[in-house]
Amino acid sequence: MREDLPFNLFEVNLSEADDSQLLQISEEFGLALDLKEMKRCKEYFSDRGRNPTDVELQSIAQTWSEHCYHRTFKGNTLIDGCKVKLFQDYIAKVTKDLSPSWCVSVFEDNAGIIKFDEDRAIAAKVETHNHPSAIEPFGGAATGIGGIIRDILGVWARPIANTDVLCFGPLNYSYEELLPGTKHPKYLLRGVTDGIGCYGNNMGVPTVNGAIYFDEGYVGNIAVYCGCIGTLPINAYVKDPKPGDVLVLAGGRTGRDGIHGVTFASVELTEESEESSRPAVQIANPIMEEKLKRAIISIRDERLGSAITDLGGGGLSSAVGEMAHSAGCGVSIHLDEVPLRTPDIDPWEIWISESQERMLVVVRERELERVLKIFENEEVEATPIGEFNVDGILRVNQRGDRVAKLDLDFLFNPPEITKKAVWKRPNIGEPQFSVPEDLEDILLRLLASPNVASKESVVRTYDHEVQGVTALKPLQGKYGGPNDAAVLKPFQDSWKGVVISSGINPSYGKIDPYWMAASAIGEAISNNIAVGGRRISLLDNFTWGNPDKPEQLGKLVRACKACYDFAKAFEAPFISGKDSLNNESPLGPVASTLLITAVGLIPDIRKAVSMELKEKGASLYIIGETYPEFGGSEYYKLFGFVGESVPKVKAKQTKERMDLITKAIDSGYINACHDLSEGGLGVAASEMAFSGGLGLELDLKKVPTSMRRDDFILFSESNGRFLVEVPKKLEGPFQELMASSACSRVGIVGGDRFSVEGLNAEKVIDAEISELREIWKRTLDGR
């Protein structure tokens, strides 16, 4: 400890440390740096003839963390004798190859930005908040929503909608089988959903889209995805800090909450995480963030800022460093100017704290007084804490004394890593069993299964209509049916809309992560197309196990390769994303999970199509072929099977039929449209019927397929299929339009029953739609 200072500052003796001591330093300081990285630090400071301060080591650890720098995705991966970079060669390459004209900013800022029209843009970002939500579900999820809203503010956009996709263990999981330090899925579900609703509702940002998924692979590690959509004038997107510009810290005061949040997110959960890592979970204050939002939009509209970013992972350390490095500037920071909750916080804690509701706004010196006045008018504390310069050096001072001095080029060039990946297809086998005698019972059980059942009891806790821009809502019509996507009308002077949808299929990843990723992309895009969306952009979010394990990394390579193959085939660029790795616990790795979020446009929201049946006497058509693909399906899960016949995306045929559906919607041929996913044809047709309060007669002999089993035709989860309702008077032009696609009239709308005629011309299902609806709504009623 430096004895000559009025605050605590440590110098760490790297110069004399051997390899075991370097690792000990990393562990005791909570750095999560490996030996190669610690040796790089030792070399850097030895070249300068000194040892580092604790502030400098903490700054390096935050910047180099998996969470902030994405070392695995940016590093080298060796697989099958080839070397690849996951981000560069797969994710970013899609966007580079497609070079879409509508992209304003991708992979460079807090959120991806795409054009809405010539003058206005849409910003989108999805983040994970897995570890904090596993430790403290309400606070972890609430700060996940708060952080993603700040990401949108961090590109000068006004937040208009939230999304959330949540993955938990089974709700009936045995309490006796829970390991110490692991919370029950029911407790986590309640805490997470309450935290999301509390934050979004208090900020007045509607939650319009999402999903909840249950699987044993999430007992030890849950997955919490928080997303936000915003709008901004294109010419208001400014990222141009210059030497002499002032950095203004605005929002909540800095405390000890959130310390080591990014390094905590970069390691495995253990039995001790509940106690040791609770300080890494931040404290939420949505009212403060609402005031902060209003001030930032005012600064944007007056064109007073030269750059902006949020203080998320790594706190000031990451935000200041990233901003200065990307601008090619140096920067000096005065920690004693940072407003604190308590006065006894050490410099390193101030520097890396992830206390919530804080933003960093960069302004020209001549604009400083006006910017501070705007914050004052909103009762938001704002303080100048530093300034940019020309030398490329990060300097951090406390009460006039230097506590850190780092070359930014060193800070943002960590040692390149090379990891080995191995992929071996699991030997699962395909089950053999006869057609169940009672298919009506099977359908009811599927509708009641947690991954299919209504999520209304959760959705109703979120305000999905505040701001008045939600044109197509998550729950549809009188009976609260499940829409495929949300449609927003973001501007009063335009009927043009934004379409938000998602795709996630973790069960398929147990068989082959390649087809899991393909299905997630296909489903997200299909859901968007089903309501009228087009010109679709994608966001990718990975939740994975430890990438240092070759088999985990091998799965990740498979998923990333599919991202390139299918996003490019569907002409849908990636614009933003995030990876959350090292999601492991004593129970093992998390279920390998890829969430795909799709953001599309619809030229006229008045032509948006919902999923419920609407007209007696209308016809129901299925578009797309049905294959014997049941691996990972909800049908197999009823019997405890996994299977190996994972659904495969036929990209060329699916893209062609998607284009035809878009033309049919624009032509007014379609009353209702629903994507087929979990539970296949049986579930999708039931949902359309009981959501509209209209019966349906279905004929399995008319379904385009080579299969000869009623259960297989009803419950296959083949990708890229749609059910559409077409009015009688429009069947001629509709059939003519769809002539080149696998399209067949399989049903008639009417009555109050859901009946299915099997291959032998006998009724295999004959149920009241009210009974189907009641079963579907019952499962999560009590959460």
Catalytic residues: 67, 129
The reply, when asked if residue 369 is annotated as ligand binding, is no
Length of the chain: 783
The reply, when asked if residue 357 is annotated as ligand binding, is no
The reply, when asked if residue 580 is annotated as ligand binding, is yes
DSSP for 144-178 reads HHHHHHHHHHTTTPEEEEEEEEEEE--TT--GGGP
Compute CA 543 distance to the chain's CA centroid, rounded to the nearest angstrom.
9
> What amino acid is encoded at 649 in this protein?
V
Closest to 611 measured CA to CA, from 685, 546, 557? 685
The reply, when asked if residue 310 is annotated as ligand binding, is yes
Could you tell me the two tokens for 80?
């099958």
137-153 and 286-301 helices, crossing angle to 10°: 0
Pairing between β-strand 112-115 and β-strand 722-726 as defined by DSSP bridges: unpaired
Distance (Å) of CA 269 to CA 85, 298, 314: 27, 41, 19
Burial class from Cβ neighbours inside 10 Å (0-12, 13-18, 19+) for residue 761 reads exposed
Question: HSE of 669 in the Cβ direction (CA atoms, 13 Å)?
Answer: 20
Could you tell me the two tokens for 540?
């990718």
Helix (H, G, I), strand (E, B) or coil at 649: coil
The reply, when asked if residue 467 is annotated as ligand binding, is no
Burial class from Cβ neighbours inside 10 Å (0-12, 13-18, 19+) for residue 287 reads exposed
The reply, when asked if residue 585 is annotated as ligand binding, is no
The reply, when asked if residue 125 is annotated as ligand binding, is yes
Residue 303: DSSP 8-state: T
> Does residue 697 contact residue 775 with C-beta atoms inside 8 Å?
no
Closest to 518 measured CA to CA, from 82, 80, 90, 73? 90
Residue with token string 């997110």? 265
Sequence-separated contacts (24+) of 3-10 with Cβ below 8 Å: 5/401, 6/399, 7/346, 7/347, 7/398, 7/399, 8/346, 8/347, 9/53, 9/54, 9/55, 9/346, 9/347, 9/398, 9/401, 9/403, 10/53, 10/54
Spell 345-375 as b/e; 16+ CB within 10 A means b: bbbbbbbbbbbbbbbbbbbeeebbeebbebb
The reply, when asked if residue 577 is annotated as ligand binding, is yes
What are the beta bridge partners of residue 318?
Answer: none
The reply, when asked if residue 356 is annotated as ligand binding, is yes
The reply, when asked if residue 306 is annotated as ligand binding, is no
Could you tell me the two tokens for 142?
């609430």
The reply, when asked if residue 298 is annotated as ligand binding, is no
The reply, when asked if residue 151 is annotated as ligand binding, is yes
769-778 and 680-692 helices, crossing angle to 10°: 110
Binding residues: 125, 127, 150-151, 282, 310, 354-356, 540, 577, 580
Binding residues for Mg(2+): 127, 151, 310
Binding residues for ATP: 125, 540, 577
Binding residues for substrate: 150, 282, 354-356, 580
